[in-house]
Amino acid sequence: MGEMLRYLALDGTSVKDWSTVMSSAYLLKLYQHMVLVRLYDKKAIALQRTGQLGTYPSHLGAEAIGIGTGAALEDHDTLIPYYRDMPVQWMRGVSMTHNLLYWGGDERGSDFPSLSGDFPFCVPIATQCTHAVGVATAMKLRHQRSAVLVNLGDGATSKGDFSESINLAGVWQLPVVFVINNNQWAISVPRKLQSAALTLIDKAKGAGIPGVSVDGNDVIAVYDSVKEALQRARRGLGATVIEMHSYRLSDHTTADDASRYRPEEELKAAWQAEPLLRLKQYLINARLWTDSKQHEWEQSCGRVIEDAVAQYHATMPQAPESAFDHLYAELPQELHQQRDALIQKAMRMEADNDG
């Protein structure tokens, strides 16, 4: 493996000058967002476990990737997220209530008109890469000074959609940044069984795209690498593949049980390198943060999260046919019969319940 970009060591000491990357005040702001989305993640899992939310993919351990990436994007860029990207969307202005609605099965969870260019979550593996090169091609044809950022997991790099997308991005020099969250596990398949390549950015070589190796638990490194790649794309210099080295501290989703396949010792070691711990230690050493401020901030975060949950619960359920209504601009004729049948079934069920 080549050199990996890192600014903070595991013990919270600075190992590389980052004074030109961001201010201390901005770093503190990013830390606060990381704490907030971690607490939100915990609440979302609790809601799922009590039947108040559908299957949910935790982002525990990916806070630095999400918050750092979201902070590096500009409003006129386009985000193509995958399902573990609540922190990125949060930094883009998408509310927690929207996230809860999405995982609660409500189509309005993907409707955030303030970000008309961003895409909703992509749950199929790696198909979002093809969407990204499509949007990037349009940007290039229109001579836009914007870029596309697409996120994916390490498992997605084994899919043809990823290989074909980086190949096209390289040939056409498209303004797109591929960010791989290498969290070491593709559901129950470890990274070593995903690919024989020494690093995942080795795959970018065949596409003629530069690859960057980054400590994905170091938010300064995440922000710096993504910001530079986006600037490069906007200048017309083409695509970049970034491999963020991290670790999935959670189950793959709430439908998974990672204790059945993941060594406990490996998980314990990963917790020593998790993204909030070292940053908190750095901020305390720099006299920018205290345990008292941590407690106050967590109390404040709790109120924000509970307000979002209350709004989620207060949202009137959608009609069953809403899935059809949000899928197409104009519903194909062959689906009208299915939509009508669904409405009739819902009416019968409601009548049975009333009876």
Q: What is the pLDDT along the chain (355 residues), one digit of tens a residue?
A: 569 999 999 999 999 999 999 999 999 999 999 999 999 999 999 999 999 999 999 999 999 999 999 999 999 999 999 999 999 999 999 999 999 999 999 999 998 766 668 999 999 999 999 999 999 999 999 999 999 999 999 999 999 999 999 999 999 999 999 999 999 999 999 999 999 999 999 999 999 999 999 999 999 999 999 999 999 999 999 999 999 999 999 999 999 999 999 999 999 999 999 999 999 999 999 999 999 999 999 999 999 999 999 999 999 999 888 888 888 888 999 899 999 999 999 889 888 887 6
* 175-189 confidence digits (pLDDT tens): 999 999 999 999 999
Question: Measured between alpha carbons, how far is residue 208 from residues 77, 174, 175 in Å?
Answer: 23, 12, 14
Which residues have a Cβ under 8 Å from the Cβ of 231 and sit 6 or more positions away? none
Query: Residue holding tokens 């351990």?
Result: 61
- CB atoms under 10 Å from CB of 181, counted, come to 28
Burial class of residue 271 (count of CB atoms within 10 Å of its CB; 0-12, 13-18, 19+):
exposed
Given this model, what pLDDT does residue 323 score?
84
Q: For residue range 70-90, list pLDDT tens digits in order.
A: 999 999 999 999 999 999 999
pLDDT of residue 355: 67
Q: Which two tokens stand for residue 276?
A: 């909030």
Q: Which positions ≥6 away from 129 have C-beta within 8 Å?
A: 80, 150, 152, 156, 161, 162, 164, 165, 166, 178
Catalytic residues: 248, 252, 261
Give me the residue label for tokens 């975060």.
Answer: 301
pLDDT on residue 135: 98
For residue 109, how many C-alpha atoms fall within 13 Å in the half-sphere facing its CB?
Answer: 24
* Chain centroid to CA 200: 18
For residues 143 and 140, give the distance between their C-alpha atoms in angstroms, rounded to a whole number.
5
**Which pair of structure tokens corresponds to residue 33?**
């967002």
CA distance 14 to 34: 19
Q: For residue range 219-263, what is the model confidence (pLDDT) as tens digits?
A: 999 999 999 999 999 999 999 999 999 999 999 999 999 999 999
Cα–Cα distance for residue pair 45/55, rounded to 1 Å: 9
Q: What is the pLDDT of residue 115?
A: 65
pLDDT at 183: 96
Q: Full-prediction pTM beyond 0.75? A: yes
Helix (H, G, I), strand (E, B) or coil at 116: coil
Q: What's the number of CA atoms in the CB half-sphere (13 Å) around residue 36?
A: 23
pLDDT at 255: 95
Beta-ladder partners of 244: 181, 214
In sequence order, what are the residues at sequence separation of 6 or more whose Cβ sits closer than 8 angstroms to the Cβ of residue 353? none
CA dihedral of 140, 146, 151, 157, whole degrees rounded to 10: 30
